[in-house]
Amino acid sequence: MKIITYNVNGIRAAIEKGLLRWIQDTSPDIVCFQEIKALEENIPVTEFEKLGYYHYWHPAQKKGYSGVGILTKIKPDKVVYGIGNRLYDDEGRFLRIDLDGLSVISVYHPSGTTGQERQDFKMQWLEYFRKHILELRRERPKLVISGDYNICHRPIDIHDPVRNATSSGFLPEERAWMSSFLLDGYIDTFRYFNNEPHHYTWWSYRAGARNRNLGWRIDYHMVTGNLEYQLKRAAILPLAKHSDHCPALLEIEPTH
């Protein structure tokens, strides 16, 4: 089973840059989108249907902002829109599909880059999200939690950890949250397979950052520890250029 997570930074803009052809050529079983920035009626969903996907969308109430979606070749048993708190659900940050014994989540954690108010919102969300996932595991113990976490966990995950030490996305409290989250029993699947530096999933549009590979690894496939022996491969796909992010891939053996 091939699962892609991709912050598309506007799904219609990404489609104009060749996203549909890329999905056709890559042929993932599931795609978790973040930052779709569109209502479902404004997305050319029939194009995804032609490629063989069921599709589900949880947009933000605010136009042109946030929102998550999931494409899947396997029809879900259940689809859950939102995390159960309108404060967050109005921003379209959480979407879950249940496939037999496996649940796949597309999540878009807030950014705190616009000021202290949003940074506080981010930290409150992170704690709510963590508790929600812990409770969910009682009912759905096998989880793939894919998305844009807006956090670089370790210095290896960011091109300049010294200068970014006070930047949202690499703050000590955010990194501590990520460490605590992983200790709850999750695997950062990319780092499970690859401990080399210079692998990033987001680059600023400024100063030719992408061409110089001055990036941040903020997009993750996190899985519950009970899926460890089903992990086959994890990779970052920087050649896909439909966004300021690139996709990340996870391959797992199907759950039976």
> Which of these, 76, 82, 41, lies nearest to 58 by C-alpha position?
82
Residue 253, beta-bridge partner list: none
Which residue is it, tokens 């840059």?
A: 17
244 part of the active site: no
Q: Which CATH architecture has domain 2-252?
A: 4-Layer Sandwich (3.60)
Prediction pTM value: 0.98
State the catalytic residue, choosing from 29, 148, 157, 188: 148
How many residues would you count in the chain?
256
pLDDT in tens, the chain (256 residues): 999 999 999 999 999 999 999 999 999 999 999 999 999 999 999 999 999 999 999 999 999 999 999 999 999 999 999 999 999 999 999 999 999 999 999 999 999 988 999 999 999 999 999 999 999 999 999 999 999 999 999 999 999 999 999 999 999 999 999 999 999 999 999 999 999 999 999 999 998 999 999 999 999 999 999 999 999 999 999 999 999 999 999 999 986 6
User: Phi-psi bin for 252: left (phi > 0), alpha (psi -120 to 50), beta?
Assistant: beta
Residue 96, beta-bridge partner list: 80, 105
